[in-house]
Amino acid sequence: MNYNKKTVYDIDVAGKKVLLRCDFNVPQDKATGAITSDKRIVAALPTIRYLLGQGAAVIACSHLGKPEPSFEKWVKKQAEKGKDPAELTEEKWQKSLKKLTLAPVAERLSELLGKPVVFAHDVVGPDAKAKAAALKGGEIMLLENTRFEKGETKNDPALAKELASMAEVYVSDAFGSVHRAHASTAGVAAYLPAVSGLLVAKELEVMGKALDDPKRPFVAVLGGAKVSDKIAVINNLLEKADTVIIGGGMAYTFAKAQGGEIGTSLCEEDKIELALGLLKKAADKGVKLLLPVDTVCADHFGADAAPVVYEAGKIPADMMGMDIGPKTVELFSEAVKDAGTVVWNGPMGVFEFDTFAVGTKAVAKAIAESKAVSIIGGGDSAAAVEKLGFADKMTHISTGGGASLEFLEGLELPGIACLQDK
């Protein structure tokens, strides 16, 4: 697909009402509802400030969490979790919705901007419509959680049209949601001129160039738990990369495919043939595919487990792999040292446990110290880089886990495809 899209710089927004899709799906304290990290709000500020500075009236919108907009469906989901249907009242459902209001986001956005943010208590209802109509150039409002509307996740044309009716231009700046064909991420583009915000534009520029015209050698580092989550990514990168490194839980499926002993390590038995096929494809393409040569293991999955190192493919029956070993750290670090471009998606081990975060930290350090264009593909990789203190050393950290993964797969992203081409 074409990633060369028009941005807010390519369209006149002066005096116009702009519907701006943001990613305000912020983490919150479960007990108090307080925002525990405002990074996603901060990430939206450059686009918001630009639009306001141009004299636009900004109508921001976003989802938050996964509320169930239907009482019936909420009851069904709660029952599936083992809750007694007799105790599931409409009042409790309403309380569940209130926990996912965007009102705290409006407050924090106001603080960051240093100006009032009008908050609408609905999405396309009377409150939103009235406040949008009254909004003047240089002012900003925030709609309530888009997922409170039944038609949002179904990309309902009627809802998309209602959203669009409040504005004259649509700006997409929620990269974390562009892989979803929802009313507020894709549907509205059928009714308004649609361009990217500055955050989305940066994602497309950096990640697009990495895939289409990378500085070589191009090294892809892939981790995470399951081969099934990364099949398409590996397939696509074997067409583009010079070296593909595989760590994390999915490495054990490859080890078993090669006849190795993996103990109680994570393994997708139904993906063994696929793993062999990917190894063959790498060989046929002349792509280096590096797998762990040693493994840090434990007798149980826990932060208190004692680490023991074994040669890859020789893990005892009662042990499980938890991290890449010291020889593998050297091997992987050497592979990225002289890279021109590095794309990293997925940790090397159970980085949530300090004892088994050594491999992930070492790879992050090697990428940070390289002179490569370094791109971190959101999700767990971004979390690991942040947690380990290497965020400021990376060229680009993607704001979208699922979106960046689908980008690396080479899939069409609905929230990008709908934007105007340059």
Mean pLDDT of 215-232: 90
Q: What are the pLDDT digits (tens) for 394-412?
A: 999 988 878 888 888 888 9
**Is the Cβ–Cβ distance between 322 and 302 less than 8 Å?**
no
Alpha-carbon span 305 to 343, nearest angstrom? 31
Residue 378, pLDDT above cutoff 70: no
Task: Write down the pLDDT at residue 30.
Answer: 84
Residue 379, pLDDT above cutoff 80: no
Kindly list the catalytic residues: 40, 226, 379, 402
Q: What are the pLDDT digits (tens) for 169-212?
A: 999 999 999 999 999 999 999 999 999 999 999 999 988 888 88
CA distances to 10, 72, 160, 171 from 193, in Å: 11, 36, 13, 8
Alpha-carbon span 335 to 221, nearest angstrom? 10
The pair of structure tokens assigned to 71 is 């009482």
The pair of structure tokens assigned to 249 is 């839980």
Alpha-carbon span 27 to 323, nearest angstrom? 27
Task: Write down the pLDDT at residue 180.
Answer: 95
Task: Write down the pLDDT at residue 144.
Answer: 98
pLDDT tier, 107 (very low <50, low <70, confident <90, very high otherwise): very high
Mean pLDDT of 2-14: 94
At 342, phi and psi to the nearest 5? Answer: -125, 125
Mean pLDDT of 82-99: 85
**Domains of the chain and CATH, by start:** 8-65+100-202 (3.40.50.1260), 214-409 (3.40.50.1260)
Burial group, residue 32, by CB count within 10 angstroms (0-12, 13-18, 19+): exposed
Burial group, residue 90, by CB count within 10 angstroms (0-12, 13-18, 19+): exposed
Helix (H) or strand (E) holding 21: strand 17-21
- Mean of per-residue pLDDT scores for the chain: 94
pLDDT tier, 55 (very low <50, low <70, confident <90, very high otherwise): very high
